[in-house]
Structure 1
Amino acid sequence: MSKNKISIERFSPELAEDFKVINQAWIEKYFVIEDEDKRVLNDPKRYLIDTGGEILFARDNDSGEIIAACALKKWTEDEYELSKMGVLEGYQGSGVGKFLAKAIIEEAKKRGCKRLFLESNRKLKPAMKLYQQLGFKEFTNHESRVDYSRCDIVMEMFL
């Protein structure tokens, strides 16, 4: 999918349902929805935006459809988490995930982020490959910050 066919948009209340639907789809496909998922997906403004983070969306300019979403969660002034990244099934493998992830990394840099981390699961092979291509490295000396039983890897990059 060419980049001129995709536009990146910031969170607005009318996009909250897209954020929920996109993320519920991949979580339910591979795992189960956990309490923390419900909290964040049901009120992303409160738990991500109002705490200093952002959510970016990818829109297919041909169809007008929101096809991907990714959150940037603020932990400290210079530490953020790449979170809740999902791409609608029909668009997976098209490059939209990488395009959106690069936009989130740029957003993190603009906000003064020095360490960007993510928590994921090794069985999500395409996601693992993407994170490595973007420059994330496994961080082994860690304790999980988020309460998801599905996470078995933490990766980080320094900006």
Structure 2
Amino acid sequence: MEIISFEPQYSKDFKRLNIEWLEKYFYVEPHDEDVLGKPEEYIIKSGGQIFFVKQNEEIIGCVALMKIEENIFELTKMAISPKFHGKKIGQKLINFTIEYAKRQPWETLIIYSSRKLENALHIYKKFGFTEIPIEENNPYARGDIKMKLQLS
């Protein structure tokens, strides 16, 4: 298993993994369609990053760091293929992503999530994320919790 950076050929995997996850737990929102359909435009060109978990030749997971404002990035669009759940791949990916973020001149990572994803919230807390007030017009209808991790 290796973690690799975004390359355009993996755009379809990014969308596939996220749609699969969204349809399992929620539904695909218009904001999701935009970002997943054009990851280079919405994430990469603004200074963000997408990482993929590759096992053999198969892309089995992904996560994005999307710029929200100067020095503040959202850890978002994380998905692991269901057949690889329970192997702590998501935790390895979060750890890798946080370590990458700490090497950047960024101040804060934020996460929007849902309180119904208890396992995910537990993992975010384990990595140091703390709950902060969520704005009324947050970008996700499913989002009912916002968390942050101070990087510096």
Give the TM-score, by structure 1 length. 0.90
Look up the match of 1:34.
29
Aligned partner letter, 2:42: Y
1:60 to partner: Cα distance: 1.3
1:20–1:93 distance in 2 versus 1, CA, 3 Å: same
**Which runs of 5 or more residues in structure 1 are unaligned?**
1-5
Where do 5+ consecutive residues of structure 2 fail to align?
A: none
Which deviations, in whole Å up to 9, do the C-alpha atoms of 1:51-108 show, x marking residues without a partner? 11000011113xx211110000112332111000111101112111011111111221
Structure 1 letter corresponding to 2:140: Y
1:35-114 superposed matches below 5 A: 35-61=30-56, 64-114=57-107
DSSP-derived class of the 2:65 partner: strand
Q: Any runs of at least 4 consecutive aligned residues in structure 1 with deviations exceeding 6 A, and if so which?
A: none
Residues 31 and 45 from structure 1, CA distance in 2 versus in 1: closer, same or farther, beyond 3 angstroms? same
> Cα RMSD between the aligned structures?
1.3
| Cα distance, 1:17–1:47 mapped onto 2, change above 3 Å | same
Q: How has the CA–CA distance of structure 1 residues 146 and 13 changed in structure 2, closer, same or farther, with 3 Å as cutoff?
A: farther
Distance in 2, matches of 1:94 and 1:59, equals 14
Q: Give, as a single letter, the amino acid of the residue that structure 2 aligns with 1:33.
A: V
Identity over the aligned pairs, expressed in percent?
39
TM-superposed CA distance for 1:32, in Å, is: 1.1
Asked if the contact 1:119/1:154 (under 8 Å) is kept, the reply is yes
Aligned length: 151
- Please give the secondary structure, in 2, of the residue aligned with 1:131: helix
Tell me the TM-score normalised to structure 2 length: 0.94
